[in-house]
Amino acid sequence: MVRAANTYPELSLAERDRRWGLLRRFLEEQGLDCLVVAGPLETRHPDRYITNFLTGWVVFPKAGAPVLITPRGYAITQALEIARMGEAPMWVTDLRHARTGRELGKHLKSLAYERSKIGVVGLSMGELSVEGWIPYRTWADVLEELPNASFIDVTRPYVELVSVKSEEELQMVRKAADVAELACEEMLRVVKPGIRESDVVAAVMNVVYGHGCVGSLLPHLGPLILQSGPSTFGGGPPRWVTRGGEPRMLKKGDFLRAEIFSIYGGYEAQAHMYISLGTPDDNTLRAAEVARASYDEGVKALMPGALFSGVKAAMEKPFAGDAKVGTGTLIHSLNICYFSSESNIAISDVAGGDKLKWAQSDRGRGGDIVIQAGMVFEVEPKCSVNGRVAYLGGTVVVTEKGAVELNEISTRIHTVKG
């Protein structure tokens, strides 16, 4: 049997027609004349659900063909090249160029939407804590160009709709997750005292790119999360990525924390790795035990009909006494990554953290979402015990019978010889 990592699935025109049919019903239910979906400058593109192409602004009508308005000339030339080389046909063939909100507004007027009721995706519910991703100046100019149109923010219901994946989409997710699994294997193979963090990153990303995937393209994450040292409370990319300096050398007694991002055709899987270079202490083992129990509770609770808030509550059950929720989220949605539990900040566990002034404003979102078959989640509990931590997690797909785990290696902590 060929493992998913060695396959290269594509989305069909039948999948396009399925999505467009859903969106036409969405327009009817919402009482809209058309939909405008703004593509953010990041990897999680809600516009690509319509186009299966490079990001831009998509105008999707109740009848007729959608239009992709792009600020990038290379998007138009790439579309021409796809046709010239006889590759899988483009889903959207009407591509137009615009760089400003005023130009975008003029395109909408040329499509006869001056007095229409227009649904907009991108005015709220942005990536992580960002409230939407449409720039102020862009939107102000669009409103000025179309003073008689009515604009309704439909970001939330749109995201709910596209979060339920078809079998074709799940093939893409399985491919990405299996590549992440191979990357975890490679990380375990290369991690040892005496090599640099950069050696680990190179080995892992060689697996990811070598199988036709990419890592995270987000500046605050890319290409992967990786931290090492006697404690690993910090998150984000390796510090030498953002600050320069010599990549850290791994030492006996270190812990290495990583989150591997594997994205195939725009579909993302994530896998958390936590590796002890030598025998871990009792507090770390206790943290790992609680984190695994939380993971198991989350997988068990991810059933169709459950509330997202209920899944989060189930994952919180194992935390008690000295076992606290560590820094980060317990669970969030994938493809699209917009529903999330609170992003906890366990700052008191960091040396000197009690002297810092901070305010935790992230309270999560999407607690009232009803879990459906076809949704994809990253189940990623973190636990802190007396200043020691453990992180683990992987990609999980909801089916009619319950959750199916797509990763195994990253759902427990590992020890390598120190």
Which pLDDT does position 2 carry in this prediction?
A: 67
At 403 the pLDDT is: 98
pLDDT at residue 257, as a whole number: 96
With beta carbons less than 8 A apart as the criterion, state whether 258 and 204 touch.
yes
**pLDDT of 151 higher than 90:** yes
Q: What is the pLDDT of residue 351?
A: 56
pLDDT over 50 at 129, yes or no? no
Q: How many CB atoms lie within 10 A of CB 180?
A: 33
For residue 377, the model assigns a pLDDT of: 98
pLDDT by residue (tens digit) across 265-316?
A: 999 999 999 999 999 999 999 999 999 999 999 999 999 999 999 999 999 9
Q: How far apart are CA 380 and CA 209, in angstroms?
A: 24
pLDDT tens string 396-410: 999 999 999 999 999
Question: Within 13 Å, how many C-alpha atoms sit on residue 48's CB side?
Answer: 19
Query: Which residues lie closer than 8 Å to 227 by C-beta, 6 or more apart?
Result: 234, 235, 236, 238, 239, 256, 257, 258
Residue 162 has pLDDT above 50, yes or no: yes
| Phi, psi (rounded to 5 degrees) for 4 | -60, -30
Mean pLDDT, the chain, integer: 92
Q: Please, which residues have CB within 8 angstroms of residue 230's CB and are 6 or more apart in sequence?
A: 253, 254, 255
CA atoms within 13 A on the CB side of 387: 8
Three-state SS across the chain?
CCCHHHCCCCCCHHHHHHHHHHHHHHHHHHCCCEEEEECCCCCCCCCHHHHCCCCCEEEEECCCCCEEEECCHHHHHHHHHHHHCCCCCCCCCEEEECCCHHHHHHHHHHCCCCCCEEEEECCCCCCCCCCCCCCHHHHHHHHHHCCCCEEEECHHHHHHHHCCCCHHHHHHHHHHHHHHHHHHHHHHHHCCCCCEHHHHHHHHHHHHHHCCCECCCCCCCCCCEEEEECCCCCCCCCHHHHHCCCCCECCCCCEEEEEEEEEECCEEEEEEEEEEECCCCHHHHHHHHHHHHHHHHHHHHCCCCCEHHHHHHHHHCCCCCCEEECCECCEEEECCCCCECCCECCHHHCCCHHHCCCCCCCCCECCCCECCCCCEEEECCEEEECCEEEECEEEEEEECCEEEECCCHHHCCEEECC
Query: Tell me: the pLDDT tens digits for 309-357?
Result: 999 999 999 999 999 988 788 999 999 877 888 776 665 555 555 655 5
Q: What percent of the chain has pLDDT over 70?
A: 92
Give the span between the Cα atoms of 399 and 396, in whole angstroms. Answer: 10
- Place 25 in a pLDDT band, splitting at 50, 70 and 90: very high
Res 353: pLDDT: 58
What pLDDT is attached to residue 192? 98
Query: Comparing C-alpha atoms, which of 274, 311, 267, 266 is closest to residue 402?
Result: 311
392 confidence band (pLDDT: 50, 70, 90): very high
pTM over 0.85: yes
What CATH code is assigned to 167-416? 3.90.230.10
Which residues share a beta bridge with 331? Answer: 379
Residues of the chain with CATH 3.40.350.10: 4-162
Beta strands at 394-399 and 402-405: parallel, antiparallel or unpaired:
antiparallel
**Which amino acid, 106?**
K
pLDDT at 182: 98
pLDDT, mean of residues 138-163: 96
- From the list 79, 57, 82, the residue with the least C-alpha distance to 69 is 57
Q: What is the pLDDT of residues 182-239, one digit of tens each?
A: 999 999 999 999 999 999 999 999 999 999 999 998 877 879 999 999 988 778 899 9
Ranges in the chain annotated CATH 3.90.230.10: 167-416
pLDDT reported for residue 357: 54
**Count, residues in the chain:** 418
- Note the pLDDT tens digit of each residue in 42-89: 656 899 999 999 989 999 999 999 999 999 889 999 999 999 999 999
Q: How many CB atoms lie within 10 A of CB 359?
A: 5
Cβ contacts of 120 within 8 Å, gap of 6 or more: 35, 36, 38, 134, 151, 152, 153, 154, 155
Q: CA 117 → CA 65, 102, 130, 151, 160, distances in Å?
A: 18, 19, 26, 6, 21
Fold annotation for 4-162? Creatine Amidinohydrolase; Chain A, domain 1 (3.40.350)
What's the confidence (pLDDT) of residue 127? Answer: 54
